[in-house]
Amino acid sequence: MKIVINGGYGGFGLSDKAILKLYERKCPVVEATDPKEYYGGAEDWEEDFKRDQDNEKSIFGIIVAFDGKIVRLDREEAHRGHPDLIAVVEELGKEASGKYAKLKIVEIPDDVEWEIDEYDGWESVHEKHRKWE
């Protein structure tokens, strides 16, 4: 299985060229028009919105629809292995990366339950395990 992650500090993001390629592959690309939509309608969207405002980040951005579900790829791990995303990153290489991203593809065994771990935007893929806090 292939998964797209960010391999450097800064954070996951797609270039305009990559977004256009996804659009060409029939993945609808939508510009979010309100904060709730941008944050995926999550229950805690207001908290994320406030945090990003405090960090002087843009509150709006590009979101993509995969298989009829609108997602923000930097927030939803399950879509990091989507065949269209993999194909675009493979095709464009470094040009697929957004302004602060350094996208790369990692391969893991097909039968592994996985999750993405992130520190300051630098991501790695880990096998899921039990955790209590």
pLDDT digits (tens, 9 = 90+) for 62-86: 456 666 665 667 667 878 898 989 9
Please report, for residues 23, 101, 110, 111, the alpha-carbon distance to residue 12 in angstroms, rounded to integers and kept in the order given. 18, 5, 23, 25
Residue 93 has pLDDT above 60, yes or no: yes
Q: Which residue has the higher pLDDT, 100 or 90?
A: 90
pTM of the model: 0.71
* Residue 100 tokens, joined: 């602060």
Tens of pLDDT, residue by residue over 8-36, are: 998 888 887 887 888 788 776 655 555 56
